[in-house]
Amino acid sequence: RMATNIFFAARSTTDPGADESITRRSDALGRYFQEHVFVPAVSSVDTTSWHDLCCQILAMARGSSTISNAIVALSQLHFNKFFSTTEHNKGPHALRNGENLSHYLYIFARESLIEGLEQLKVKPSASLRRELLIGLFLLTCFEVSHLSSVTNIG
């Protein structure tokens, strides 16, 4: 439940300062995901629909650790792939650390998806099925983006 607790946590009634920090991080991640994350194989076809889909996915992420974990992994990968390459003063170690982090986040998101699939076997529900489908879509986007960065496709 890592990403939900970090970025999309419910409001705290005991610590208003924590609320504000969580809200700022959530808003920043949401903006980055919506405005900067794209998957060449998908978003280059219809940019407007991609941004609309990102808005819908972000709304779903507020109640789903599976989706929010996948968003965090995809956003981190995209940040490593595109944003950090514009900062020439970063050494190779910084890029390698970012790649390691995105890989770790991907594994964490995949494990969250697998746990959801186990839950679905025990207690089938249409909303969980939809949540898992979106999580799977985002992890597939991660894999496509990672592949394109490794092979310099996009």
CB atoms within 10 A of CB 70: 30
Q: How far is residue 79's CA from residue 142's CA, in Å, rounded to a whole number?
A: 12
Tokens read off for 140 = 């597939």
Provide the residue count of the chain: 154
What predicted TM-score, i.e. pTM, was given to this entire model?
Answer: 0.74
pLDDT, residue 111, reads 95
The residue ranking higher by pLDDT, 2 or 32, is 32
Q: What is the mean pLDDT of the chain?
A: 76
6-20, 31-45, 118-132: least confident range: 6-20
